[in-house]
Amino acid sequence: MCGIVGYVGHREAAPIVLSGLKRLEYRGYDSAGVAGFEGLPSGPRLKILRCEGKLDNLIQTMKRDPISGTSAIGHTRWATHGRPSERNAHPHRYKEVVIVHNGIIENYNELKAGLIRKGHEFSSETDSEVIAHLLQVSLEKEGDFEMACRQVVKMLKGAFALSAAWTKDPKKLFVAKQQCPIVLGLGKDEQFIASDVPALLDYTKDFIFLEDGEMAFVEPAHVRIFTFAGKAVNRKSHRVEWSLAMAEREGFPHFMLKEIFEQPRVLRDTLRGRIKSQFNGIVFDTVKFKDSQWKKFKSVSLVACGTAWHASLLGKYWIEAFSRVHAEVELASEFRYREPVILPQSLCVAVSQSGETADTLAALTEAIKRKMNPLAITNCVESSLARRAKNVIYTHAGPEIAVASTKCFLAQTTVLCMLAVHLAKVHQTQSSKWITQILKDLAELPEKVERILKQNDSIKSIAEKYSQFNQYFYLGRGLSYPVALEGALKLKEISYINTQAYPAGEMKHGPIALISEDWPVVCVAPKGDHQEKMLSNIQEVKARGGRIILVGTEGDEEAASLAEVFIPIPKVRVELAPILTTVVLQIFAYHMAILRGTDVDKPKNLAKSVTVE
């Protein structure tokens, strides 16, 4: 998954493209490059600079050797085809054409073979470079850039967001979208393109979201949009009120800590306008299902990846417990290929922060094909998942920059809890008193999260005490098991420490063999949630030398007495405890990673969302 930025207008283009790439670096950061058209007396000259590694390498290079000119395109890469290197970095040029691409051209091999037979020589190992060659061939035939773009975009199979430019018409950028995100940023006598909104918030708040199968010609004075078939498209722009600061760290040392501390606001924004004023129901205004339709749903399949899958597992527990509707949680990458048995009147809920994760998108496509009713839960407005599902519940978390998801997990779980309460209401499995009470308790969560954030320093000192250990167990029962999974993933993702999460009752059937002084055991044991069973499991571990770090309910002396370290959460109804205990584990993982000196916001080998299989 890569980041693309482009500019055409009256200002120096390279600095604008570089600052946009900086905001997109969370999308992929193994190499980067910029191509700009320098206005020389002899005519425009195309200049390309590319570097392997983080964007800073390119920034330093361009300081020494700047690119002038008022139109440019740039790219930050997450390698799929061809290892990270300057040679495989984008932009890719072939004769008069230069391109940047995000995604995978699935038929690039046969396209490339055809071109090689015609004597073409390729300078990189990427799938993307074939686009530049194809454009040049069409250009030589048609002598018209737009005609060439229309022809080539039809030849490409797979997932792509791309931009291209021609040395003979540098004031025109071509953009095309198929299954990968790209937005147009609108200005006065200047236009912007980018893979994502935060890249352009410095310059505009007005955006056009291209649909799959659409392309655009972007010139200083205007943009023209067409379908791949050539039909003109009139698309209205969206005003995105995200402040620049929301995309910036607001003074926190890392985006991850900023996003952890944003969670009270995120919960308020996610709950906002969805809990009816009398606390007697839920409103999802971006979902077109009538109550009669909701009532028909007899089964729910939740599909997701990574952290979103852990949120979905919580969703399964809540939906079945509250509404008695059968619920399944599916790993998207498995669901799409395992020939699932779909029950009639099924709802497929696809959960994804980015709304662009290829496996989740494909799982939803598969579900739609199998006549399931689609619903997306995502954080990115107009993302591919949202458009594919049409029915969507946004998580209103604002841009999440850190690769390890925190605030979006909490927003997803809050939406899933509301969804379960809504299903309970339409299926009349809970009294109105119960509905009102749980909605009131949900509305009180932001304040309880604020109280946990106040423990940041004490959790930091606990991390200091345990930072030397290289393996951890995370245990929980019932609703706390998905929390244990998420806590274990957080520590793994950002500190590279080996962690294993288990339902506590499962330990005695094998994993307990590993228990020793060297394996701290993080136990998620809020009051009420299978408490007795959980405490006896903790006893079993303790009896074998396990060092217990226990996340429990404030004032729970019995639990605290079993722990080497006890981290309290405010009293809360048991069903909502997962939303609080998770925050403790997020903060713990963050400080462990800081102590290990890892790149907390951009951990190695990971990307914010993976738009390839």
Active site residues: 2, 608
Residue 551's φ and ψ, nearest 5 degrees, are -100, 110
Least separation in angstroms between residue 308's CB and ligand BG6 is 4
Cβ 25 to ligand BG6 shortest distance, Å: 14
Q: What tokens appear for 202 in the block?
A: 């410095």
Count the Cβ atoms, other than its own, within 10 Å of residue 319: 30
CB of 310 to ligand BG6, least distance (A): 8
First to last CA, the chain: 11
**Measured from the CB atom, is 102 or 360 closer to ligand BG6?**
360
Contact present, 7 and 190 (Cβ < 8 Å): yes
Where b means 16+ CB within 10 Å and e means fewer, 536-554 reads: ebbeebbeeebbbbbbbbe
- Check binding of 403 to ligand BG6 (CB under 6 A): yes
Q: Closest-CB residue for ligand BG6?
A: 306
Distance CA 79, CA 411 (A): 30
Min CB(606)–ligand BG6 separation in Å:
5
Instruction: Tell me whether residue 331 or residue 343 sits nearer to ligand BG6 (CB atom).
Output: 331
Regarding 343 and contact with ligand BG6 (CB under 6 A), the answer is: no
The minimum distance between CB 28 and ligand BG6, in angstroms, equals: 11
Q: Decide if residue 372 touches ligand BG6 (CB under 6 A).
A: no
Three-state SS at 46: strand
Interaction of residue 610 with ligand BG6, rule CB under 6 A: yes
Task: Please give the sequence-ordered ranges of beta strands (E in DSSP) within 95-135, or none if there are none.
Answer: 97-105
The contacts of residue 153 (CB under 8 Å, 6+ apart) are 176, 215, 228
Taking the complex as a whole, how short is the minimal distance between the CB of residue 532 and ligand BG6, in angstroms?
33
| Interacting span for ligand BG6 (CB under 6 A) from 29-37, 366-374, 461-469, 604-612 | 604-612
- CA distances from residue 568 to 141, 383, 523, 555 in whole angstroms, order as listed: 71, 38, 12, 8
Number of residues that bind ligand BG6 (CB under 6 A): 17
Residue 353 contacts ligand BG6 per CB under 6 A: yes
* Residue of 76, 323, 354, 499 that binds ligand BG6 (CB under 6 A): 354
Q: Which of 306, 315, 503, 526 binds ligand BG6 (CB under 6 A)?
A: 306
Site for ligand BG6 (CB under 6 A): which residue of 80, 85, 270, 352?
352
Task: Give the Cα separation of 183 and 193 in Å (integer).
Answer: 6
Q: Which is nearer to ligand BG6, 377 or 438 (CB)?
A: 377
Q: Taking the complex as a whole, how short is the minimal distance between the CB of residue 405 and ligand BG6, in angstroms?
A: 4
Partners of residue 185 on adjacent β-strands: 192, 207
Q: Which stretch binds ligand BG6 (CB under 6 A): 65-73, 95-103, 398-406, 560-568?
A: 398-406
Distances (CA, A) of 608 to 92, 402, 605: 24, 7, 11
Name residues whose C-beta falls within 8 Å of residue 428's C-beta, 6 or more positions apart in sequence.
none
Taking CB under 6 A as the criterion, the residue among 62, 404, 418, 494 binding ligand BG6 is 404
Looking at the DSSP bridge assignments, the partners of residue 473 are 500, 521
Identity of the residue, 560 or 612, whose beta carbon is nearer to ligand BG6 in the bound complex: 612
308 binds ligand BG6, rule: CB under 6 A: yes
Residue choice 360, 406, 581, 586 for contact with ligand BG6 (CB under 6 A): 360
Residues 6+ apart with CB under 8 A from 275: 281, 282, 283, 418, 439, 442, 443
CB 70 within 8 A of CB 39: yes
- Subset of 405-444 contacting ligand BG6 (CB under 6 A): 405
- 80 sits near ligand BG6 (criterion: CB under 6 A): no
Between 343 and 606, CB nearer to ligand BG6: 606
Question: For the window 263-302, what string marks contact with ligand BG6 as x by the rule CB under 6 A?
Answer: ----------------------------------------
Tokens of 96: 């008069």
Residues near ligand BG6 (CB under 6 A) are 305-308, 352-354, 357, 360, 403-405, 606-610
